[in-house]
Amino acid sequence: MLSRLVGAANRADIRCLVALEEENAALKDKIERQQEKLHELTMERDASLRQLSAQVALSAQVAELSRGQASAPDTSETNLEAEIEALAARDERLARFTRAGRKPPSNARSTSSATRQTLSQRLDDMIAMLNVVQAECNALEQALG
C-alpha cells in the first residue's frame, strides 16, 4: 500500500515537472519574441533620431546661411565666380609682363593686395560661420543624446 502511495506521488510530481517545463519553454519563447520586438523598435527609434538630427542640423545650416547671406550678400556664387575670373585675368596680365621682362604696373600690385585682403576676410568669415554651425551641431547632439 505504501509503495502505491509513493508511486502515485512520484507520478504526480513527474506530471507537475512536465507542466512546469512546458510553461518554462513557453515563457522563454515569449521573452525571445519580446526581445526581438524591442530590438526592432530600438532600431526604428535610432533611425528616426538620426533622421531628425540630420534635419535639425540641415535646418540650422540653412538658417545660418540665410542669416549670413542677409548680412553679407556679396558672398554669392556669382560674385565669387566673377572674382575668380578677375583674378585669372590679373594673373594672365602679370604673366605677360613677367614674360616680357617688364615690371608690372603698380596698380596691379595694389589690386592684388586688396583682392588678397578681401579673400582673406571672406575666408575668416566662412571659418567663423563654420565654427558657429559646428557649435550648434554639437549642442544639438548633446541635447538629443
Most distant CA atoms of the chain, gap in Å: 130
Res 90: pLDDT: 75
Whether residue 87 is predicted with pLDDT greater than 80 in this model: the reply is no
Q: Report the C-alpha dihedral over residues 13, 18, 24, 25, rounded to 10 degrees.
A: 170
The pTM of this model reads 0.38
Q: What are phi and psi of 72, to 5 degrees?
A: -135, 80
Give the model's confidence band at 73: pLDDT under 50 very low, under 70 low, under 90 confident, else very high.
Answer: very low
Residue pointed to by grid coordinates 519553454: 25
Sign for the pseudo-dihedral over CA of 91, 93, 95, 101: negative
Res 82: pLDDT: 73
2-42 confidence digits (pLDDT tens): 888 888 889 999 999 999 999 999 999 999 999 999 888 88
Alpha-carbon gap, residue 105 to 94, rounded angstroms: 9
Contacts of 52 by beta carbon, 8 Å cutoff, 6+ apart: 144
Res 53: pLDDT: 81
Whether residue 83 is predicted with pLDDT greater than 60 in this model: the reply is yes
93-127 confidence digits (pLDDT tens): 777 777 766 665 565 555 567 777 777 787 888 88
Task: Please state which of the ranges 6-10, 45-49, 55-59, 70-74 shows the lowest mean pLDDT.
Answer: 70-74
